[in-house]
Amino acid sequence: MLAFRLALRNLLGAGLRTWLNVIVLSFSFIIIIWTKGLLEGWDRQARNDMISWEVGGGQYWHSEYDPYDPFTLTDSHGQVPAGLEAGVTDGSLVPLLITQGSVYPRGMMHAVLIKGIPPQQKVIELPTAYLEAGEGDVCAIIGEAMAESTGLKEGDYVTVRWRDRNGTFDATEVKIAAVFKTTVPTVDVGQIWLPLDKLQEMMLMPGEATLLIRGPEAGPPPVADPWVFRDQDFLLSDIETIIKAKGSVGLIIWGILLMMAMLAVFDTQVLSIFRRQKEIGTYVALGMTKSQVVGLFTLEGAMNSVLAAIVGALYGIPLLLVQAVKGIKIPLSSSDFGIAMAERLYPVYSLWLIGGTVAIVLLVTTAVSYWPSRRIAKMSPTEALRGRVQ
């Protein structure tokens, strides 16, 4: 208690020097919490959006289907297994047929994935109802990124070319019924969505699908051998890998910030011990043991982070709260970034994040304060009193 009282008195008495350290440290606190909260919010938003727009409650894949190998698309289709037909009928499973093809907007060829989906599906957020709107036309929907890269817009007609199951090239004109906005690039970039029955007809694959998407609230997945069930964790593993990689970059930034703050504390401690030699000698002369003086100086250094947490809370809580409620506008679109990213990210600040950050900074500050303070234990008090310790 005495050491705490003296440390606080010395710190506050040091005035500007203390407050400069405290402000630098508080910036570190806030920026660490902010960046971590932003990544946490992004992670949560990306997971939710991926589930809503693409992953659903998991997917059944045709045994040959490999999304990373386009050559498998030719063979990765088949009749829906008998055990899953009921789900397709009641709408809890959405069949998708996927094939490669090309579109020719304004005479330019663009390689695309053509995806067939039932227009009446309710499992994912894709606005497939637009696929029913055509009167004699084959309707298609595309995402904003696709529209931007091809120059297509709602109401345009575009030629689509594909190879049917016999390998024969065929083409037709489709009408862009809607351009949808999404944060999930994997349902947008390089893709055109058609009604499932129309694509099955075009491909000469009636009743066939490449994969089936389950509703998020569906129960335990029935076995549908030889189709393979892929759960949410499997389907979201890519995005989690990317976010973890971005998290590592974030970790480096926090490390640099923390190091800068610790450098300020370390520098102050080294300077203090050199500059306050007479004070150290006087403490010993007045009856403190050297270990008590080491403890006092360590506590002074560590209390920088306690004060920083208080100061940081004063301006940080309102700042972070506003951002958590109003979100942060991201200047890049999801297609630029390659993974699901909303135009506005809402950081998530958990108690664990805030408490953990404060604890880590406090521990590191204490260690950094103790390191130079050990020198006091080696000082001769008589030399310290004369200010002669080098």
Partner 1 sequence: MEDGKVISIEGLKKHFPMGSGRFTALNGIDLAFGEGEFTGIIGPSGSGKTTLLNIIGTLDNPSEGRAVILGHSVSELTPAESASLRKTQLGFIFQTYNLFQVHTVYENVEFPLLLQGIANNRRRQMVLDALEWVGLTDKINSRPAQLSGGESQRVAIARAMVKRPAVVLADEPTANLDAANSHNILQTMEKLNRELKTTFLFATHDEKVIGYVRRKIWLADGMVARDELIEKN
Rank residues 4 and 157 by Cβ distance to partner 1 and give the closer one. 4
Token pair, residue 351, equals 């108690």
Q: What is residue 217's DSSP assignment?
A: T
d(CA 373, CA 18): 17
Return the amino acid letter for 62. H
Distances (CA, A) of 174 to 166, 214, 245, 246, 383: 22, 28, 40, 39, 91
Q: Which of 2, 82, 332, 351 binds partner 1 (CB under 8 A)?
A: 2
278 binds partner 1 (CB under 8 A): yes
Using the Cα atoms of residue 55, residue 146, residue 206 and residue 121 in order, give the sign of their dihedral.
positive
Minimum CB distance to partner 1 smaller for 9 or for 165: 9
> Which of these, 22, 23, 44, lies nearest to 353 by C-alpha position?
44
Compare residues 72 and 282 and give the one whose CB is closer to partner 1.
282
- Decide: 101 and 112 in contact? Cβ < 8 Å: yes
Min CB(310)–partner 1 separation in Å: 20
* Cα 17 from Cα 272, distance rounded (Å): 11
**Footprint on residues 287-326 left by partner 1 (CB under 8 A):** 287-290, 292
- Residue 206 φ/ψ, nearest 5 degrees: -60, 135
Dihedral sign for Cα atoms in the order 321, 245, 47, 50: positive
What minimum distance in Å lies between the beta carbon of 278 and partner 1? 6
Distance of closest approach, residue 338 Cβ to partner 1, in angstroms: 55
Phi then psi for residue 104, to 5 deg, are -130, 70
Neighbours of 259 (CB within 10 A): 14
Among positions 344-383, residues that touch partner 1 (CB under 8 A) are 380-382
Stretch that binds partner 1, among 27-35, 57-65, 274-282, 307-315 (CB under 8 A): 274-282
Closer to partner 1 by Cβ: residue 9 or 122? 9
**Cβ closer to partner 1: 14 or 348?**
14
Given candidates 90, 206, 217, 286, which one binds partner 1 under the rule CB under 8 A?
286
Number of shown-chain residues binding partner 1 (CB under 8 A): 24
Nearer to partner 1, 172 or 382 (CB): 382
Reference 3, options 381, 291, 211; nearest CA is 291
Q: Which is nearer to partner 1, 157 or 274 (CB)?
A: 274
Of the residues 80, 123, 224, 284, which one makes contact with partner 1 according to CB under 8 A? 284
The site map against partner 1 for 4-33 (x = CB under 8 A) is -xx--xx-xxx-------------------
Residue 317 corresponds to which tokens in the numbers above? Answer: 């809580």
Output the six-digit token pair for 183. 């944060």
Query: What gap in Å lies between CA 100 and CA 37, rounded to an integer?
Result: 39
Pick the piece of the chain touching partner 1 (CB under 8 A) from 1-9, 38-46, 172-180, 302-310. 1-9
Question: Which residues, other chains included, contact 266 with Cβ-Cβ below 8 Å and sequence gap of 6+?
Answer: 368, 369, 371, 372
Distance CA 231, CA 235 (A): 6
* Shortest Å, Cβ 15 to partner 1: 8
In angstroms, rounded to a whole number, what is the distance separating the alpha carbons of residues 144 and 126?
13
Write down the least CB distance from residue 381 to partner 1, Å. 5
CB of 275 to partner 1, least distance (A): 11
Q: Which of 144, 164, 279, 343 binds partner 1 (CB under 8 A)?
A: 279
Specify the residue, 186 or 277, whose C-beta has the smaller distance to partner 1: 277
For partner 1, the binding residue among 112, 213, 257, 385 (CB under 8 A) is: 385
Binding site for partner 1 (CB under 8 A): 2, 5-6, 9-10, 12-14, 278-279, 281-282, 284-290, 292, 380-382, 385
